[in-house]
């Protein structure tokens, strides 16, 4: 609707200003204090009903339209990462060692802009909008599940959300009608060998050698146990075995992550990892501890709702290309919302114009093109109003 787009155009500078404020004052997962206060005050000034402390540090705000209709939820995350910023932006983080290096500042600014725009059009709204401002997406167990348990989706009929993507061209939207993002699990293996003098390895059970064999053996799970037509990633990301140069360590510790795109493969990975650990340690006469923590589940979009939002995106000024994407192996706890209600999650291109090789997410020099905020806001706002009008 042109009217709604015009309203958002008028709010563009404010949306950018909000993003820059949030970027300057980032807060870590589960440690968010000032950010939820800022969000709550913004909604209160609009006259929205507000709940704070939802599932921890989450915020819910409610906008009731003038007419009866469905309830649409819109979600944005607002936590930052433990990264020292190196962007040299005028609004760089003033909280040393903490940075918005994934775009959550942009997500929140976008949603606050949508809230203000829809508030100006509440006489046209057929239903209720629930603004879900979620804490702690970056750090499992995440904020989505506790917010859901605390009523975030109560009465909700559909949910929409987006992620700004710095390595996706500005003006491009990517979507997928089924599995979009992988499950995100973590593991830890501790090998208990028998330490000793590095000059007399025959008297030891070398935990470093055993752990090294385990790293190698793990790779055979994906290559030889997982169906080649299915996707799986097993990455050992940390190897610890402390000691001086001439001492074979008594213990060695491995940590890493496992990513899959369906539940059967997820179960298989955990089972096969245990089997490989048992076999490797048995051959060496070593003991072990194995901990496998299930993180976020696979993010599976709903086909009808995804196609609906992409139809809306085609009408949005600033959107030049819409593509169906392959799944990515990154995790996202938005997946919990989609397990409960129908909806979709899509990617909004935010690659800085003129930058051929932008810094990736979670990099200390990460940045986005702020023109992406308005594009994302228009898609979310227009999808909300159109869904309400079609389902009133």
CATH number of the domain to which 40 belongs: 3.40.630.10
Rg for the chain, CA atoms, rounded = 24
Query: Do 333 and 380 reside in the same domain of the chain?
Result: yes
Catalytic residue among 27, 32, 77, 79: 79
When pLDDT is cut at 50, 70 and 90, the band that residue 21 belongs to is: very high
When pLDDT is cut at 50, 70 and 90, the band that residue 392 belongs to is confident
Question: Whose structure tokens read 């899509």?
Answer: 346
What is the tally of structural domains in the chain? Answer: 2
pLDDT given at position 2:
62
- Is 121 one of the annotated binding-site residues? no
Domain housing 307: 2-180+298-390
User: Cβ-count burial of 120 within 10 angstroms (0-12 exposed, 13-18 middle, 19+ buried)?
Assistant: middle
**Which domain-ending residue is among 279, 296, 313?**
296
Residue 40 and residue 161 in one domain:
yes
CATH code, 246: 3.30.70.360
Do both 44 and 79 map to the same domain?
A: yes
Report d(CA 322, CA 318) in Å as an integer.
11
The pLDDT tens digits for 276-330 are 999 999 999 999 999 999 999 999 999 999 999 999 999 999 999 999 999 999 9
Same domain, 46 and 154: yes
pTM recorded for the entire structure: 0.95
Based on the fold, state whether residues 367 and 338 are members of the same structural domain: yes
- In percent, how much of the chain has pLDDT > 90? 98
DSSP string, 224-255: HTS-TTS-EEEEEEEEE----TTEE-SEEEEE
Q: Which of 281, 296, 311 is the last residue of a domain?
A: 296
Helices (H), 150-237: 207-224
- Residue 79 a catalytic site member: yes
pLDDT digits (tens, 9 = 90+) for 328-358: 999 999 999 999 999 999 999 999 988 999 9
Could you report the per-residue pLDDT of 192-237, keeping only the tens digit for each?
Answer: 999 999 999 999 999 999 999 999 999 999 999 999 999 999 999 9
The C-alpha atoms of residue 144 and residue 181 are separated, in whole angstroms, by: 16
Domain match, 190 and 292 both? yes
Question: What's the pLDDT tens digit per position in 101-132?
Answer: 999 999 999 999 999 999 999 999 999 999 99
**362 in a known ligand binding site:** yes
One domain, residues 191 and 285 = yes
pLDDT of residue 91: 98
Annotated binding-site residue? 363: no
Same domain, 172 and 193: no
Choose one of 296, 313, 331: the last residue of a domain.
Answer: 296
Q: Is 137 a catalytic residue?
A: yes
pLDDT tens digit sequence for 79-102: 999 999 999 999 999 999 999 999
Does 124 lie in the same domain as 77? yes
Catalytic residue, candidates 137, 185, 333, 370: 137
Residue 378 to residue 318: CA distance in whole angstroms: 9
Report CA-CA distances (Å) from 171 to 43, 319, 347. 29, 5, 11
Q: Per residue in 36-68, pLDDT tens?
A: 999 999 999 999 999 999 999 999 999 999 999
Using DSSP's 3-state secondary structure scheme, residue 101 falls into coil
Nearest-angstrom CA–CA distance, 31 and 136: 8
Q: 373 and 339 share a domain?
A: yes
Q: Do 374 and 332 belong to one domain? A: yes
Residues 153 and 237 in one domain: no
């Amino acid at each position: 609707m042109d009217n709604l787009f015009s309203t958002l155009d008028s709010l563009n500078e404010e949306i950018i200003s909000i993003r820059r404020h949030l970027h300057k004052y980032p807060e870590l997962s589960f440690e968010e204090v000032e950010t939820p206060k800022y969000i709550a005050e913004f909604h209160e000034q609009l006259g929205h009903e507000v709940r704070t402390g939802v599932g921890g540090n989450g915020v819910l705000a409610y906008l009731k339209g003038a007419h009866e209709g469905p309830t649409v939820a819109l979600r944005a995350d607002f936590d930052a990462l433990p990264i020292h910023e190196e962007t040299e932006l005028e609004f760089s983080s003033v909280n040393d060692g903490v940075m918005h290096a994934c775009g959550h500042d942009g997500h929140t600014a976008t949603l606050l802009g949508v809230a203000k725009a829809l508030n100006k059009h509440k006489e046209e709204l057929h239903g209720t909008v629930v603004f879900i401002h979620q804490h702690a997406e970056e750090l499992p167990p995440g904020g989505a599940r506790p917010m859901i348990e605390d009523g975030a989706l109560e009465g909700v009929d559909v949910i929409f959300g987006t992620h700004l993507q710095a390595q996706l061209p500005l003006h491009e939207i990517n979507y997928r009608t089924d599995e979009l993002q992988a499950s995100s699990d973590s593991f830890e293996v501790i090998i208990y060998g028998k330490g000793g003098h590095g000059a007399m390895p025959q008297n030891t059970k070398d935990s470093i050698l055993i752990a090294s064999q385990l790293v190698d053996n793990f790779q055979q799970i994906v290559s030889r146990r997982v169906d080649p037509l299915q996707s799986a990633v097993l990455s050992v990301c940390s190897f610890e075995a402390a000691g001086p140069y001439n001492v074979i360590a008594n213990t060695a510790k491995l940590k890493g992550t496992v990513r899959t795109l369906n539940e059967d493969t997820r179960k298989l990975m955990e089972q096969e990892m245990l089997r490989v650990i048992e076999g490797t340690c048995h051959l060496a006469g070593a003991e072990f501890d194995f901990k496998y923590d299930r993180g976020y589940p696979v993010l599976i979009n709903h086909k009808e709702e995804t196609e609906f939002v992409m139809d809306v995106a085609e009408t949005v000024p600033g959107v030049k290309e819409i593509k169906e994407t392959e799944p990515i192996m990154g995790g996202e706890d938005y997946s919990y919302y989609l397990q409960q209600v129908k909806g979709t999650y899509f990617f909004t291109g935010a690659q800085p114009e003129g930058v051929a090789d932008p810094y990736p997410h979670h990099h200390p020099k990460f940045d986005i093109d702020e023109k992406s905020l308005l594009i994302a806001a228009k898609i979310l706002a227009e999808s909300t109003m159109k869904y309400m009008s079609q389902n009133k």
